[in-house]
Amino acid sequence: MAGYMSEALLDIVDLNRHFPIRNLWGRRTGWLRALDGVSLSISRGDILGIVGESGCGKSTLGKTVAGIHPPTSGSVHFEGHEIATLSPSAGRAVRRNLQYCYQDPGASLDPRWKIGRSLEEPLIVHTDMTRTDRLARVQATLHAVGLPERHLDLYPHEISGGQQRRVGLARILMLRPSLVILDEPTSGLDVSVQAVVLNLLLELREAFALTYVFISHDLSVVRLFSQRIAVMYLGRVVEIGGTDRIFAAPAHAYTQSLLAAVPEIGGRRVVENFWLEGEPPSPGALPPGCRFAPRCPRADPHCRSHEPRPERHADGRLVACHHPAITGDPI
């Protein structure tokens, strides 16, 4: 990765986000543990893919890091600042370098505003740039995402879904962030348009020195795009490591089950190890011990009574499993 320094940009330590569960009378009856002790680190220039079933906490993690959801506890260090405990005003000043790209960027654009005004708004709010400088940046950024200048005078409903994705990317690039959290950026797009969007993201990464957190349910896309993968299950990261290594030899039983379901060109992937059956437990009523144990063929009584902690193995990956499919003892 020419031009990128190997330095920590984002450090997340024991991050929790719990939502109250209330009955019909508004009384709290429990907690939904959407994030439950998530820890990971992202280096500058990295592309980290976050995968897992619906409801595993992928989007909640991105929104909590971005400040959309306040954390229940834990720490988030971004560019040397602890941002989890900052006040809203102080948090805005730091988080201008950390942008969140919604799954549906068209929904984040005001339908009453032309695209030019939507792109200029972040500069009006967060900078003291002159109007001439603002317009110059708007035009340059729109050109960077591959859209003509005439789109500035259009409304969001007048452009296609793929073009709306480009406008959404242009909007988050207006403040020149260092970290971008992409929440399902290719969801709902045709395969050919997906390829165009992914290539555009890689080009923008080089042009603007970006670091990506790539949230997706599409493992095939994550495999092509990400350098590392974090696999989440019920609010926790169960395995994290290099993309090639995890796809070649997944260690956690849940990771193996996810990858076994990925179709391959020329025929279906061999699925003799496909064990993923049934629905995951409710995040509001988690089982004791390993939360994957009720669906895991390797689970034993120890798994059902003792929750595994992430351990680093010789190939560098972290695995939270009592019986990982990996040779050698943890280091």
pLDDT in tens, 141-195: 999 999 999 999 999 999 987 888 889 889 999 999 999 999 988 887 778 778 8
Tell me how far apart the alpha carbons of residues 64 and 42 are, in angstroms, rounded to a whole number. Answer: 15
Q: How far apart are the first and last CA of the chain?
A: 28
Does residue 90 fall inside a structural domain? yes
Task: Look at residue 33 in the predicted model and tell me its pLDDT.
Answer: 92
Cα–Cα separations (whole angstroms), residue 288 to 15, 19, 255, 258: 20, 20, 21, 23
Does residue 227 fall inside a structural domain? yes
The answer to whether 101 and 180 are in contact (CB under 8 A) is yes
Tell me how far apart the alpha carbons of residues 177 and 97 are, in angstroms, rounded to a whole number. Answer: 4
**Residue 327 — very low, low, confident or very high, per pLDDT cuts 50/70/90?**
low
The answer to whether 278 and 231 are in contact (CB under 8 A) is no
Beta-carbon contacts of residue 78 (< 8 Å; ≥ 6 apart):
9, 10, 65, 94, 95, 97, 98, 179
User: 73, 71, 70, 92: which is closest to 81 by C-alpha?
Assistant: 92
Task: Look at residue 298 in the predicted model and tell me its pLDDT.
Answer: 86
Task: Look at residue 4 in the predicted model and tell me its pLDDT.
Answer: 38
Task: Look at residue 86 in the predicted model and tell me its pLDDT.
Answer: 78
Task: Look at residue 244 in the predicted model and tell me its pLDDT.
Answer: 92
Who has greater pLDDT, 230 or 126? 230
**Residue 5 — very low, low, confident or very high, per pLDDT cuts 50/70/90?**
very low
Residue 237 main-chain phi, psi, to 5 deg: -85, 120
**Residue 140 — very low, low, confident or very high, per pLDDT cuts 50/70/90?**
very high
Query: Strands, DSSP E only, in the chain?
Result: 8-22, 28-43, 47-51, 73-78, 81-82, 98-101, 179-183, 211-215, 228-233, 236-242, 311-312, 318-319
Does residue 254 fall inside a structural domain? yes
Q: What is the mean pLDDT of residues 111-140?
A: 93
313 pLDDT exceeds 60?
Answer: yes
Does residue 258 fall inside a structural domain? yes
Does residue 330 fall inside a structural domain? no
Work out the mean pLDDT of the chain and round it to a whole number.
86
Does residue 327 fall inside a structural domain? no
Task: Look at residue 109 in the predicted model and tell me its pLDDT.
Answer: 85
Task: Look at residue 2 in the predicted model and tell me its pLDDT.
Answer: 35
Does residue 320 fall inside a structural domain? no
**Residue 84 — very low, low, confident or very high, per pLDDT cuts 50/70/90?**
confident
Does residue 315 fall inside a structural domain? no
**Residue 331 — very low, low, confident or very high, per pLDDT cuts 50/70/90?**
low
Q: Domain of 125?
A: 8-24+35-265
268 pLDDT exceeds 70?
Answer: no
**Residue 315 — very low, low, confident or very high, per pLDDT cuts 50/70/90?**
confident
Task: Look at residue 90 in the predicted model and tell me its pLDDT.
Answer: 74
Overall domain count for the chain: 1
* CATH value at residue 68: 3.40.50.300
**Token output for 87:** 């006040």
Who has greater pLDDT, 217 or 94? 217
**Residue 133 — very low, low, confident or very high, per pLDDT cuts 50/70/90?**
very high
Tell me how far apart the alpha carbons of residues 314 and 256 are, in angstroms, rounded to a whole number. Answer: 19
216 pLDDT exceeds 70?
Answer: yes
**Residue 271 — very low, low, confident or very high, per pLDDT cuts 50/70/90?**
very low
Q: What is the mean pLDDT of residues 41-61?
A: 93
Tell me how far apart the alpha carbons of residues 20 and 127 are, in angstroms, rounded to a whole number. Answer: 37
Task: Look at residue 74 in the predicted model and tell me its pLDDT.
Answer: 94
C-alpha neighbours within 13 Å on the C-beta side of residue 150: 2
